[in-house]
Amino acid sequence: MYLLQSSGIIASQEASLIIQATLLMLIVVVPVFVLLFFFAYYYRAGNHKARYSPNWEHAKMDELIWWAIPLEIILVLGALTWGSTHALDPRKPLPSTVPALQVEVVALPWKWLFLYPSLGVASLNTLEIPANIPVEFHITADAPMNSFWVPQLGGQIYAMTGMDNRLNLMADKPGDYPGYSANYSGAGFAGMHFVVHAVAQKDFEAWVAATASTSPVLDQATYSALRAPSTEQERTYAYRIDLYHAILKQFGH
């Protein structure tokens, strides 16, 4: 359960938020359950000890209380919402001494293409990142609406044609983290999963060097073939052109 196993600074903050909010709401929910079962039991028709007030239908003080209690809980939650929404805004760069690694993501039918514009490499359905370094994702699609989601690292954001959505994540330890699409995009949707390999910085640089020199080249022709609907195995590429902005422009934005 990623709630217990989050490995990203965003995911762990989101997990604590969920737990905090749940606890706050239990302040109201638990009394509701207690009152419900207590009243149901105590005021059952067979219990003649209980007082019966058939016309008691109005009590200002009591009503004030139960307008006030949910109102207060919601005020607290509201403040929590305002704060956390801004703090965990996907577009917000993560605090760090090093610049974020830029990765461009293109949702295709039914696979994920990852482009590293400044590093000369690209990959399909596998995402290699350095651990403990912030990654800024730029996400678009050349496919129906998808959603880029790596639960153990953080929340999702939609991948849409003509839109450039930004998501900032960071893995706080090396490991393999599953990723998915979280928006139905057609018959091959269930095949749109990928793996994020977070590795030590040295290993990441080695991977980049090896991939850039030995992998097949991702050029316009290879890309056009990828646009056709299919599910694919993991693959890596050497990548020296700019496909991302061309893809964005193609859809008129």
Partner 1 sequence: MSLFGLLTPQAFIHGPIETGAQIIVIVAVLVTVLAITYLGRWRWLWQQWLTSLDPKRIGIMYILLSFVMFGRGFVDALMMKSQQALAVGAPGYISPDHFAQLFTAHGVIMIFFAAMAFMFGIINLVLPLQLGSKDVAFPLLNSISFWLTATGALLLNLSLVVGQFAATGWLAYPPLSELAYSPGVGVDYYIWALQIAGIGTLLSGINFLTTIATMRGHLRLMQMPMFTWTTLGSMLLVIFAFPILTVTLALLALDRTLGFHFFTTDLGGNAMMYVNLIWAWGHPEVYILVLPAFGIFSEVVATFSQKKLFGYTSMVVATMLIVVLSFMVWVHHFFTMGAGADVNAFFGIMTMAIAIPTGVKVFNWLFTMFRGRIIFATPMLWFIGFLTTFTIGGMTGVLMSIPAADFQLHNSLFLVAHFHNMIIGGVVFGFFAGFTYWFPKFTGIMLNERWGKAAFWAWIVGFLMAFMPLYALGLMGVTRRLDHIDVASGLYTQPWAHWLFDIAAAGAAVIALAVLFQIIQIIVSIWNKHKHHVGENPWRSQGPEWQEPAEPLHERSARGVAIGAVAALFGFGLIWHIWWLAALALIGILLSLITLPKPEYAD
Cβ atoms < 10 Å from Cβ of 35: 10
DSSP letters of 123-144? EESEEEEETTS-EEEEEEESSS
Contact predicate 137/166, CB 8 Å: yes
Amino acid found at 4? L
Chain centre distance of CA 233:
23
Contact predicate 155/9, CB 8 Å: no
User: Least distance in Å: CB of 24 to partner 1?
Assistant: 9
Nearer to partner 1, 59 or 221 (CB): 59
User: Least distance in Å: CB of 245 to partner 1?
Assistant: 16
Nearer to partner 1, 120 or 175 (CB): 175
User: Least distance in Å: CB of 129 to partner 1?
Assistant: 16
Determine phi and psi for 209, rounding to 5 degrees.
Answer: -65, -45
Nearer to partner 1, 120 or 144 (CB): 144
User: Least distance in Å: CB of 173 to partner 1?
Assistant: 17
Nearer to partner 1, 84 or 222 (CB): 84
